[in-house]
Every structure is written in C-alpha cells, then in structure tokens.
Amino acid sequence: MKYLLAASMLCFCVICHAQSTDEQAIRAVMNQQVTAWNNGDIESFMQTYLKSDSIMFIGHNGITYGWDSTLAHYKRGYPDRATMGKLTFELKELKPLCGNYYFVVGKFMLEREKGNASGHFDLLFKKVAGKWYIVSDHTS
C-alpha cells in the first residue's frame, strides 16, 4: 500500500510539473505576442500561430481560416502603429486539455491615442514539435 501511495504521489508531481512547464511556455508565447505587437511587428506577432490553413480566427467580422488570411486580417485592421497602440494581456485561465492542447482565456487592452480598446479572448494552443502554437483564436 505504501508503494502504491508513493507511486501515485510521484505521478501527481510529474503531471503538476509538466503542467507548470507548459503554462510557463504558453505565458512566454503570450509575452512574445505583446512584445511583437508593441514593436509594430505583426509578422512576428503571427509567429505564435501555427502556420497552417487549418487555424481559425473568430472576431467581430466572423470567421477567418488559415494563417495567411489571419495575417491579412490583422494587417487590414491595424495598418499602422497608431492603430495598433500598446497591447497588454491579463490572463484569466490556463487549462490543460487532453494531450498537447491548452485552453487559455484572457482580456486584452489596447492603449491608443484615437481611443482605447479592450475585450476578451479564448485561445486553443497546440504543442507541435515541442513548441506551443495558437490554432484557434476567438477575440471579441
């Protein structure tokens, strides 16, 4: 019985450590987004999305599929630094799903001269070749 309890505790510790490491990696991806955005670099911002035709972005204009279309969407919506403003995130929840997926909920704030903007988002992250990427983004 002692061995079973010890083995269970060890498994729990390993799972907790893996979740902690994954959460740190996902937070780093989110920080990468903030840095790229605040540098006016939409191309680098998009490197956090899986470069695939299957990614999905849902915003106030509906659904956009694919990495290239999502990049074009961002460039149309934010054509210059003034429109982009200064981005900050407040992460509300990070939840591991099965296998290589994580669900993230948060709030974004854009500080801009022409008027601030804010809203909420939920993201689906997928771990590919040891790296976390956004595969679905719903921002409102």
Can you spell out the DSSP letters for 19-39? HHHHHHHHHHHHHHHHHHHHT
DSSP helix/strand/coil, 6:
helix
pLDDT by residue for the chain (140 residues), tens only, comes to 554 433 443 344 344 445 589 999 999 999 999 999 999 999 999 999 999 999 999 999 899 999 999 999 999 999 999 999 999 999 999 999 988 999 999 999 999 999 999 999 999 999 999 999 999 999 99
Q: Output the pLDDT for position 98.
A: 86
First to last CA, the chain: 51
Bridge partners of 42, per DSSP, are none
Rounded to two decimals, the pTM is 0.85
Domains in the chain with CATH codes: 2-139 (3.10.450.50)
Q: Which CA distances in Å does 31 have to 18, 78, 79, 99, 113?
A: 20, 19, 22, 23, 23
